[in-house]
Structure 1
């Protein structure tokens, strides 16, 4: 029912909000339940689909979402079997009258396979959708430019994911990407360099602080140890204590030093398994840092040097 102002409302409760019952197509007063309007458009699904229970009968009228990165926009025409029982889809010899037409080109098929591989790898290491989208865009650019001829799709996809992680500010190590990929570290590294050169793009230089929160969290270390480890790693780089050492090995050595200055002592192997760094690599970085340990810890931390192992 309408009020004098042309607004539909309940005559007994004009100020009460109305509830839309989309399935019944009614507008109902929330106070008394009176149906005050009808012909509401149902914005829900046209029907429920139980394709697994109904064999091949799937009433969905649409396919997957359109992917704008594909040249053919992944459109296909599929002719299903006749449902009327008259056999109109087949001729007298049993052959199909209509042919299913696949419009996806071999180029789009390569893109689809690469996008699927990137998505699968990202799922295994819990990467957000923004990184997947950036990796897909990178692969599309490389694929269209034909910059990685002779390299496998999986290697290119893995390198694009690695670059996307660094460009989005959440870098992953080569070993972490290799762990979820089918490709070795050397091949991914080669594709990584080629992609950066071909696309004339760059990545941010990785720092010890990029890995510290994730490594410490995976090792179950408390916040105070993480804070000390971050300070140690940053100070070691600032004072040029570990020249030529990778940020990952410096971060692992800083965690090793901070853990031994606390009650949460960890071995080099425990840290190396999480950081993807060999024990000897951690030891070499730690031996460079140990003589200047007093300078590396925060100023408010009471360090007892004798607590720290010499190697």
Structure 2
């Protein structure tokens, strides 16, 4: 019986592998619609001729360690530390009913883990101060999530609460009030249009407790709080009223003219921002009613009319 040649088998395998490789390379370098050349740019791959976006996923093939100026070690250190947790994110969680590979645990092992979980929960807080910190930081994260603020502001609010606790500003005051005041202070310092009423409705404390905590933090910590401007409240009011972009841009121009004229001093900025939106909507024929704008800004129609008259005088002087 003649022996089968191994060389022929290897040649057939190599030729088949070469054809598949060439076909794959051709499909990744040509457009599937028009057959044009593909151009990778800005983390996406598009066709040079027809503009079809073939791929837009970017895979990071870099190292998994975190580069730090203080530590040049290239070890896998896990997730970075966060100020939103009382232990900076270094806590330990004990799983339930399954091991690390997803297999079910026997009853004896589950009972042992339940006992370990109970002791771990008891030893989680070393002092009452740390327990208060963990509860308050959870309240800060809840308010920030309800306001749909970015994670960077959440970190700032948590750091501000830590400063307040370090200066003993929590003694004799509500923890919920200090937590809500931290969020409000961060919004004020970053120029975000978040009213005191909006945060007090989400907080689990009274408005007087929130105002008392914010006043103490603003005085003792010397916060760089700028003066609130009508321009800070315009984007949120415009998004709530769902007005077009040209009305929002015109309202910003009106608020800037009023600020340059000095008529916004001593007035409630949220109400004046609503008046600018009301004026801009009538200029473009959108026709927002005074009651609709007043309800959105949590003010009265009399305030809208008073600010409207002042704004009309400024526009007459400019014209």
Inter-CA distance 183–112: structure 2 relative to 1 (3 Å threshold): same
**Deviation string for 1:10-65 (max 9, x for gaps)?**
9977xx7xxxxxxxxxxxxx88xxxxxxxxxxxxxxxxxxxxxxxxxxxxxxxx98
5 Å-filtered alignment, 1:96-111, equals 100-101=119-120, 102-105=123-126, 106-111=128-133
Cα deviation, residue 203, structure 1: 1.4
Aligned to 1:237: 259
Superposition TM-score, scaled by structure 1 size: 0.64
Aligned to 1:181: 203
Q: Could you tell which deviates more after superposition, 193-202 or 129-138?
A: 193-202
Superposition TM-score, scaled by structure 2 size: 0.63
Q: CA RMSD in A?
A: 3.6
Structure 2 residue runs of 5 or longer lacking an equivalent are 1-13, 26-78, 98-104
Inter-CA distance 276–201: structure 2 relative to 1 (3 Å threshold): same
Structure 1 residue runs of 5 or longer lacking an equivalent are 1-9, 17-29, 32-63, 91-95, 300-311
Give me the whole-angstrom Cα distance separating, in 2, the residues matched to 1:233 and 1:193. 28
Give me the whole-angstrom Cα distance separating, in 2, the residues matched to 1:97 and 1:201. 44
Pair 1:164-2:183 in alignment: no
Aligned to 1:207: 229
Specify which of 156, 167, 173 is matched with residue 151 of structure 1.
173
Cα deviation, residue 155, structure 1: 0.9
5 Å-filtered alignment, 1:1-311, equals 70=86, 75=91, 100-101=119-120, 102-105=123-126, 106-295=128-317
- How many residues align? The count is 240
Give me the whole-angstrom Cα distance separating, in 1, the residues matched to 2:232 and 2:162. 27
Q: 2:290 touches 2:304 (CA, 8 Å); kept in 1? A: yes
Cα deviation, residue 141, structure 1: 1.0
Inter-CA distance 290–109: structure 2 relative to 1 (3 Å threshold): same
**Deviation string for 1:54-98 (max 9, x for gaps)?**
xxxxxxxxxx986556369764696999x56668978xxxxx799
Cα deviation, residue 288, structure 1: 2.4
Q: 2:189 touches 2:226 (CA, 8 Å); kept in 1? A: yes
**Deviation string for 1:202-228 (max 9, x for gaps)?**
212222111212211221111221122
Inter-CA distance 186–285: structure 2 relative to 1 (3 Å threshold): farther
Cα deviation, residue 277, structure 1: 2.4
Inter-CA distance 85–123: structure 2 relative to 1 (3 Å threshold): closer
Cα deviation, residue 187, structure 1: 2.6
Inter-CA distance 141–88: structure 2 relative to 1 (3 Å threshold): closer
Cα deviation, residue 130, structure 1: 0.7
Q: 2:278 touches 2:290 (CA, 8 Å); kept in 1? A: yes
Give me the whole-angstrom Cα distance separating, in 1, the residues matched to 2:281 and 2:172. 46
Q: 2:174 touches 2:209 (CA, 8 Å); kept in 1? A: no
Q: 2:86 touches 2:137 (CA, 8 Å); kept in 1? A: no
Cα deviation, residue 162, structure 1: 0.8
Cα deviation, residue 240, structure 1: 1.9
Cα deviation, residue 177, structure 1: 1.2
Inter-CA distance 223–145: structure 2 relative to 1 (3 Å threshold): same
Cα deviation, residue 156, structure 1: 0.8
Give me the whole-angstrom Cα distance separating, in 1, the residues matched to 2:93 and 2:252. 56
